[in-house]
Amino acid sequence: MKESNAGWSLASELRRLVHYGWYWGPVTRVEAEEKLAGAEDGTFLVRDSSDDHYLLSLSFRSYGRTLHTRIEHCQGSFSLYSQSGSDGYQSIVELIEQSVCNSEIQFGPSHFSYLLKNPSVL
């Protein structure tokens, strides 16, 4: 499953994120909650984590509430905090895309299926 990552670096992986509408950068937990307030269940955004032990956080709507989880990076793999026992994914983009796909299969299209588009991304 794991492919060679020649030329890969964490810094380049993080720079890639600015090209994705779901990445909002340095947004606090409170700001994420404000942006997601009233949005449909399944709406989400990825933001820089306010915790120095983590790089990113995922904020999302579920059952009428805004929830948050951390994105972990360990030994070259990315995973959601709640999935830390899994193999993880080679990129943040792969993690997000697979999470959207998995949530649609498990819960239907109303979970993790709507990104909150960052207006600064073309």
**pLDDT tens-digit profile of 23-46?**
999 999 999 999 999 988 888 999
**Tokens coding 5:** 């990552």
Cα separation, 52 vs 49, whole angstroms? 7
Is this structure's pTM higher than 0.85? Answer: no
Q: How many residues does the chain have?
A: 122
Domains of the chain: 10-115 (3.30.505.10)
**Tokens coding 35:** 């942006």
The confidence score (pLDDT) of residue 105 equals 64
